[in-house]
Each structure stands twice: as structure tokens, then as C-alpha cells.
């Protein structure tokens, strides 16, 4: 089985979340603009959630632990 650098994987998701925040708005209007904004929001959320995960690899099983409780 190939080895995986879990910390590097998590860092890539953090980098992707940051890149989505910096993504420029293309010159689209109307429904295309709404669709682009929605996709950007979804991308950021997904990448940020994985980027906040605590990851473990045990017996060939990658487990991502993500605390979804609201911050106080």
C-alpha cells in the first residue's frame, strides 16, 4: 500500500479553501453569476471542513474527525 502524508493532504485542503476565497469573479451575469457564487460557497465549505479535520490512518483506514459543533 502506498504511504500518504496526511498532514500534507490536510494542508492542501486548507490551501484550496483559501484559494476559493481569492478566486476572482468571472465576467458572467444572471444565472451564471448565481451559479458561480453558489459553487464557490460550496467549494469553500467543503475544503474548509476537510481542512479542519483531525486525520488518523490506522490499519489502512483513513479517518477524518471533524467537530461540527458551533464555536462558543
pLDDT tens figures, 31-51: 999 999 999 999 999 999 999
Model pLDDT, residue 2: 63
- Which of the four pLDDT bands, split at 50, 70 and 90, describes residue 60? confident
Q: Indicate the length of the chain as a whole number.
A: 72
Is the model more confident about 22 or about 2? 22
pTM over 0.85: no
Whether residue 14 is contained in a domain is answered as: yes
Whether residue 40 is contained in a domain is answered as: yes
Report how many helices (DSSP H) and strands (DSSP E) the chain contains, helices first. Answer: 2, 2
Q: Is the pLDDT of residue 72 over 60?
A: yes
Q: How many domains does the chain have?
A: 1
Whether residue 70 is contained in a domain is answered as: no
Domain housing 10: 6-65
Whether residue 17 is contained in a domain is answered as: yes
Whether residue 71 is contained in a domain is answered as: no
Average pLDDT over residues 9-30: 93
Amino acid at each position: 500500500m502506498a504511504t500518504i502524508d496526511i498532514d500534507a493532504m490536510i494542508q492542501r485542503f486548507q490551501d484550496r479553501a483559501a484559494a476559493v476565497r481569492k478566486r476572482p469573479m468571472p465576467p458572467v451575469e444572471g444565472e451564471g453569476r448565481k451559479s458561480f457564487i453558489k459553487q464557490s460557497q460550496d467549494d469553500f465549505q467543503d475544503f474548509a471542513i476537510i481542512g479542519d479535520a483531525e486525520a488518523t490512518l490506522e490499519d489502512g483506514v483513513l479517518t477524518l474527525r471533524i467537530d461540527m459543533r458551533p464555536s462558543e
